């Protein structure tokens, strides 16, 4: 059970196929840690030759597109804006003017209401800013804004109204760059092979198990989350090899080390057959016209197997009319 819980956590933070996203000549980590917060890159873009910027969110925030910019800006949740300076002529004065102008747009000319907070925030930035300096503006839920320069904390500011205005510089209804806003708020497209899949007996069509696919170091792994037949819930893989021998079937990692080839195809992995303990070469893929069918092919498997995606039920939202 501990193994299963660990693998589930790994899955939650391992969506993207690649470790980094390229913007111009720079790269943004697809998953990055800010202080003690691990966040996922939602989108990134560049504003001329001045700087590149990335938007990092936690997994609880769902983005459907640019129309969600205000919602994100006003949300009390962990998030971060990463700014990477790309122009050597951009100094402290330019950064402060850029932020002041953006805040004036974001507040529809009412930035004077936040003047004290703006002054405190701008005072955090150092007098000397160099090309390729990285500024992370991290917002921690209920704790405020933390400003980091090249991974070093340089200042804090705890004011929710300022936080809303700051993120609206890029995400609001009147952003400083419309195209950049669209890049930052792209609807997230997860790796199509990841998630939960229901496996079937190829001959009888009877369901066998639920398998969770996840990524570690850009390789796909899969563990049995649940055996569907009640009598097999406590089954042990006596015929498995190595460390898998005599392990409970539920929680067992049966898919290992699949490498991305192209599109949604992964190859050169290994599949453990829990019936006879054999380990065979494996490849998996998802066809574009059948996004909820995972094709699974391994040596000795009798052809291509089809697993069906297990879709999580949507949470109901209740509203009260007054």
Mind spelling out the 3-state secondary structure of the chain?
CHHHHHHHHHHHCCCCCCCEEEECCEEEECEEEECCEEEEEEEEEEECCCEEEEEEECCCCCCCCHHHHHHHHHCCCCEEEEEEECCCCCCHHHHHHHHHHHHHHHCCCCHHHHHHHHHHHHCCCCCCCCCCCEEEEEEECCCEEEEEECCEEEEEECCHHHHHHHHHHHHCCCCCCHHHHHHHCCCCCCCCCCEEEEEECCCCCCEEEEEEEEEECCEEEEEEEEECCHHHCCCEECCCCHHHCCEECCCCEEEEEEEEEECCEEEEEEEECCCCCCEEEEEEECCCCCCCEEEEEECCCCCEEEEEECCCCCCCCCCCCC
Q: Give me Rg for the CA atoms of the chain.
A: 24
pLDDT at 113: 97
Instruction: Indicate the burial class of 298 (C-beta count within 10 angstroms; 0-12, 13-18, 19 or more).
Output: buried
Neighbours of 155 (CB within 10 A): 15
> In this predicted model, what pLDDT tens digit does every residue of 48-91 receive, in sequence order?
888 999 999 987 787 878 889 999 999 999 999 999 999 877 77
Say whether pLDDT at 308 is over 80: yes
pLDDT of residue 88: 79
Architecture of domain 27-184: 3-Layer(bba) Sandwich (3.50)
CA geometry: angle 82, 44, 148, nearest 5 deg? 5
Residues 210, 196 contacting (CB under 8 angstroms): yes
pLDDT at residue 320 tops 60: no
Q: Say what the pLDDT of residue 64 is.
A: 79
Residue-range domain boundaries for the chain: 27-184, 195-309
Residue 188: per-residue pLDDT: 57
Instruction: Please name which of 158, 141, 162, 124 lies closest in space to residue 37, comparing C-alpha atoms.
Output: 141
CATH of domain 195-309: 2.40.128.520
The mean pLDDT of 217-246, rounded to a whole number, is 94
Which residues on neighbouring strands pair with residue 259, listed in sequence order? Answer: 219, 267
Comparing 283 with 192, the larger pLDDT belongs to 283
Q: Tell me if domain 27-184 and domain 195-309 are identical in fold.
A: no
Q: Give residue-wise pLDDT tens across range 86-135.
A: 987 777 888 899 899 999 999 999 999 999 999 999 999 998 899 999 99
């Amino acid at each position: 059970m501990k193994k299963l819980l660990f693998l589930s956590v790994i899955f939650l933070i391992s969506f993207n196929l690649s470790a980094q996203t390229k913007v111009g000549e720079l790269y943004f980590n697809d998953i990055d840690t800010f202080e003690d917060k691990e966040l996922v890159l939602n989108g990134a873009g560049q504003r001329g030759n001045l700087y590149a910027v990335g938007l990092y969110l936690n997994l609880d925030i769902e983005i459907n597109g640019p129309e969600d910019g205000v919602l994100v800006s006003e949300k009390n949740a962990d998030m971060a804006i990463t700014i990477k300076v790309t122009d050597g002529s951009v100094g402290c004065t330019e950064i402060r003017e850029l932020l002041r102008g953006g805040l004036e747009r974001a507040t529809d000319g009412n930035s004077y209401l936040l003047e004290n907070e703006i002054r405190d925030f701008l005072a955090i930035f150092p007098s000397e800013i160099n090309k390729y300096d990285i500024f992370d503006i991290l917002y921690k839920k209920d704790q405020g804004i933390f400003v980091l320069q090249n991974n070093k904390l340089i200042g804090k500011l705890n004011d929710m109204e300022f936080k809303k205005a700051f993120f609206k510089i890029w995400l609001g209804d009147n952003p400083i760059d419309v195209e950049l806003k669209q890049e930052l708020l792209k609807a997230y497209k997860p790796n199509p092979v990841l998630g939960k899949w229901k496996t079937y007996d190829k001959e009888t069509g009877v369901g066998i198990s639920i398998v969770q696919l996840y990524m570690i170091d850009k390789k796909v792994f899969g563990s049995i989350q649940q055996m569907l037949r009640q009598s097999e819930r406590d089954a042990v893989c006596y015929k498995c090899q190595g460390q898998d021998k005599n392990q409970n079937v539920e929680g067992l990692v049966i898919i290992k080390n699949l490498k991305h080839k192209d599109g949604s195809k992964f190859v050169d992995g290994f599949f453990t057959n829990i019936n006879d303990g054999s380990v065979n070469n494996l490849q998996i893929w998802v066809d574009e016209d059948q996004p909820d069918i995972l094709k699974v092919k391994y040596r000795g498997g009798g052809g291509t197997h089809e697993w069906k995606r297990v879709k999580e039920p949507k949470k109901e939202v209740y509203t009260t009319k007054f």
